[in-house]
Amino acid sequence: MLNNLKQDEAGRMMALHRLDILDTQVEQPFEKIVELVQQVINVPMCAVSLIDADRQWFKACRGLDVCETARDVSFCTHAIQSIDPFIVRDATLDPRFANNPLVTDEPHIRSYAGIPLLTPEGYVVGTLCAIDRVAREFPDHEIAILSNFAKVIVSELELRQIASTDSLTGALTRRAWMERARIELNRAWRHDRPLSILMIDIDRFKTINDTLGHPVGDLVIKRFAELFMKTLRNSDALGRYGGEEFCALLPETSLENAGLLAERLRVLCFQEEISELNGLHVSVSVGLTSRQNGTNDVLAMIEEADRALYHAKKSGRNCCQSYEDLSRELSSSVA
């Protein structure tokens, strides 16, 4: 059976990012499951592979020396095209794989069985795969075992998603966002890449709650979160930092581009029509900062963005303020 959603790569990537699992640390529970699969199916290599935009990343693996490979050479990228098991009995006889570097060189893959990891929304985010260095069959009972292990893995990933997702908005919880921010900032620091952070606060939110009631306040938070998530890229991460305060992590984004995005979000929020507000337009204030001077300190960046946000509020709200501009202004006024 073909996966009806297989062409929806953007949706698939969003589903993958919602799991918030890419580039997380080695975790024993997943390692133990993979070890178990390796023993039961009797293969030298086994992995929980997640298919990112341009790579496959292993959440857990046995018998493989790497934690990721390019997507275009991965067997799993073929496996996620369908919700059915993907089996290659002899890669050297299969024109799709005969010249694949993973076949001709280390780890010399010869046979492969990949079971798609299907989320409840119907997206295949990766596979549970069993790999051998010799040509072999994967009989039905082994495929059944692998399929059941795959369901167990998805069910654990779902639990993890519950833990890391804010139930009202679908954004990451503060804790999960901080964790993601640490990972991304470390990556930006290692590769000397740009990264920016936005802190977004809904203006006069207490007044909305007091005058129109908490259900309307919740609706505003929810609608703005939807708007943010629709506007951000798959690789960005939105978190609910506090009651009506959001934070957005923008990897590979310069201060200039973060400023443009912040302004776009501000305008979109103000233009948003919410009938329950009886014609009232709600605005947001945004504070932003970018990775400067080789920092890899998330808390320091959050503090900068927060200070910029505070200044935006003080300047009349419904505006964006960068920490960099703010500190320049402060130093010139001191001088």
Partner 1 sequence: MTTEDHIIQESIASLGEINVPAALQSRIHDHQRHLMGLASSLLAGGHSRESVQRAIEVVMESFKHELTIAIAALVEKQNAQ
- Where helices occur in the chain by DSSP H, the ranges are 9-19, 28-41, 76-79, 101-104, 140-164, 174-191, 205-212, 214-231, 255-271, 298-314, 323-334
Instruction: Find the binding residues for partner 1 in span 11-40 (CB under 8 A).
Output: 29-30, 32-33, 36, 40
State the minimum distance, in angstroms, from the CB of residue 244 to partner 1: 13
152 binds partner 1 per the rule CB under 8 A = yes
Q: Nearest Cα to 228, choosing from 314, 170, 274, 147?
A: 170
Q: Do 216 and 208 meet the contact criterion of CB atoms below 8 Å apart?
A: yes
167 binds partner 1 per the rule CB under 8 A = yes
Neighbours of 29 (CB within 10 A): 10
Residue from 164, 196, 289, 321 that binds partner 1 (CB under 8 A)? 164
Task: Please identify, among the stretches 80-88, 94-102, 156-164, 223-231, the one whose residues bind partner 1 according to the rule CB under 8 A.
Answer: 156-164
Residue from 94, 156, 263, 303 that binds partner 1 (CB under 8 A)? 156
Largest distance between two CA atoms of the chain: 77
Q: How far apart are CA 17 and CA 127, in angstroms?
A: 15
Q: What are the structure tokens assigned to 320, written together?
A: 């964006």
State the minimum distance, in angstroms, from the CB of residue 91 to partner 1: 24
Residue (66 or 144) nearer to partner 1, CB: 144
Q: How far apart are CA 225 and CA 168, in angstroms?
A: 9
Residue from 142, 244, 245, 304 carrying the catalytic annotation: 244
Please give the residue ranges that form the binding site for partner 1 (CB under 8 A): 29-30, 32-33, 36, 40, 141-142, 144-145, 147-149, 151-152, 155-156, 158-160, 162-164, 166-167, 173, 175
Q: Which residues are catalytic?
A: 244
